[in-house]
Amino acid sequence: MMFGKRILILSQVFWPDSSAVSQVMTDLAEELSRRRNRVEVFSSRFAYENPKVRFDAYEEHGGIRIRRLWQTVFAKTSRGGRLLNFLTFNISLLISLFAVRKGKIDLIIGTTVPPLSSFFGAVVARVKKIPFAFWAMDLQPELAITAGYIRKNGLSARILAKMSDVSMSNSDLIVSLDRFMTAHIKTRLVKPVRIVTHTLWPAMDKVNEGERLDNSFRKEHGLSDKIVIMYSGNMSVMHPLDTLLRAAGELRADDRFLFLFIGGGVRKLEVAKYQRENHLANIRLLPLQDRARISISLGAADLQAVVLGDGCVGLTHPNKIYGAMFIGKPILYIGPRPSHITEILDSCPGNISVPHGSTEELVRRLKEFASRSEEDRGKVGRSNREYGLIHFSAVKLKEALVSELLSVTK
C-alpha cells in the first residue's frame, strides 16, 4: 500500500475525548488518514473534563497512532492548577518533539490547545526543517487578558505575546477560523505568512428525525412539553452566562420554559450556584454527552443557546453555532455584534440575538418565541438547516482544509 505524507498533530485533546476541539482534531486526523497519509498524534493521557479518566499511553484509532503524554491533572477551577496542567503538558510535548527524528515527518500541525503548545511545535519544526501549520483555535495573550488571568502589558502578557509571535512567524501556514480572527492575526505578524480563513464544521453526521416530543433524550430526562433552552458544551470563562441565568430567574413562574445546561467547564459551578441560591426549578444541569449521542441531545432543544463574551470577537470562536444550524434548531445568541455568529444569523431570520446584560429584552423575546406555533418555530429551524447544508458541509470543509495543509508539504 502506498502512503502519502507523514503528519504529526499536536493537540492536548483527541479521541475518545468528547470536547469540541477533540472532535474537530479527530475529524481532521481521520480525513488525513483516509487519504492514506501516516498520521501520528501527541495528546494528553487524561480526559479534558474528567481527569479521573485516563487513556492508554499508546493507542491506535483508525490507523492513527496516538501517543499520550503525561501531565498534572489539577482541578480546572484553580487558576494555578490550570497553569500547571498546561505547563507540564507542554514540557512533555517539548521532550517528545525533540525526540522526533529529522526526515521522518513531512508536516507538523499545531493548535492552541493548550496555549503555547504551538510555540514549541514551531520552534522544533524550524530547527529540524519540518513544515509547520498553525491552526489558531484562539489567540493568546489577548484571551488570557480578557479573561482577567494576566495583566495587559504585564510581564506574563509580554512573554506570551512574544511566544505567540514566534509561533505565527515561524509557521508555513496559519489557519484562522473567521475573518475577525484573520484581521487580528495580520496585526500580529512580524513577517508575511500565508493565512487561510477556514470555518469549522458540525461535529456530527446525522440529524435526530421524528416528532419533537418523540425525541428519546427528551423522554429520558422528563423534559415533557417544555420550551427547552439548551446550552450544550464547554461553559468557558470567556463566555458569561449571567444574562441567560437572570432570564431563567425572571421566568421562574412561567412553567413553559426549562433552561438546560449540558457539559462542563469553569462556569458550570456558577450555574449550579445560581440555581441553588435562587431555588430555580427551571434550571437543570447534565454532564457532557458522548459524541455518538450528540445529535439526539441537541435535537431535544427548542432553542440552542450560543454565547460569545464581550471583547472576544476574533480571539475565540464558539463552534456551537454549526451544530445548531446542522440539526435545524432555532438559535439564541447572546454576545457582541458584529461577530462570525451574527453574520450567519443575519442571513437566517427568526432567530434571537441580544447583547450581554439585556435580560429584559431576552425575557420578552423568549415569551414571543414561546407564543409562536410549533410550525412557525419549525420553519426557523428548517431555514437554519438549509443554510447550514449549503455553507457548513463537513465533507467539503474537511476536504478543503486537508488540501490546504498538504499544500505546505509540496
Domains of the chain: 6-201+393-407 (3.40.50.2000), 212-391 (3.40.50.2000)
| CA terminus-to-terminus distance, the chain | 21
Q: Per the structure block, which three cell numbers stand in for 372?
A: 409562536
How far, in Å, are 2, 12, 76, 87, 135 from residue 112 at the CA level? 32, 9, 17, 13, 7
Q: How many residues does the chain have?
A: 410
Q: What is the pLDDT of residue 285?
A: 97
Q: How many CB atoms lie within 10 A of CB 4?
A: 15
Which residues face 10 on adjacent strands? 42, 110
pLDDT value, residue 109: 97
pLDDT of residue 115: 79
Q: What SS3 state is found at 151?
A: coil
DSSP secondary structure of 343-380: HHHTTSTT-EEE-TT-HHHHHHHHHHHHHS-HHHHHHH
Specify whether the backbone of 341 is left (phi greater than 0), alpha (psi in -120 to 50) or beta: alpha
Q: What is the pLDDT of residue 165?
A: 92
**Could you read off the pLDDT tens digit of each residue along the chain, which spans 410 residues?**
557 899 999 999 999 988 889 999 999 999 999 999 999 999 999 988 777 889 999 999 999 999 999 998 887 667 777 778 888 999 999 999 999 987 889 999 999 988 788 999 999 999 999 999 999 999 999 998 998 888 998 998 999 999 999 999 999 999 999 999 999 999 999 889 999 999 999 987 777 777 888 899 999 999 989 999 999 988 988 899 999 999 999 999 999 999 999 998 889 999 999 999 999 999 999 998 888 888 899 999 999 999 999 999 999 999 999 999 999 999 999 999 999 999 999 999 999 999 999 999 999 999 999 999 999 999 999 999 999 999 999 999 999 999 999 999 97
pLDDT of residue 77: 64
Collapsing DSSP to helix, strand or coil, 132 comes out as strand
Residue 2 has what pLDDT?
A: 57
C-alpha cell at 128: 529540524
pLDDT of residue 16: 92
Q: Compute CA distances 384 → 144, 184, 257, 260, 321, whole Å.
A: 33, 28, 22, 21, 10
Sheet holding 352-354, edge to edge: 283-286, 257-262, 227-232, 303-307, 331-334, 352-354
* Predicted local distance difference test score (pLDDT) of residue 86: 85
Q: In what order do the strands lie in the sheet with 132-135?
A: 58-61, 64-69, 38-44, 6-10, 107-110, 132-135, 173-176, 195-197
Is the model's pTM score more than 0.85? Answer: yes
Helix (H) or strand (E) holding 86: helix 79-98
The enclosing H or E element of 127 equals: helix 117-127
Question: Grid coordinates in use for 103?
Answer: 526526515
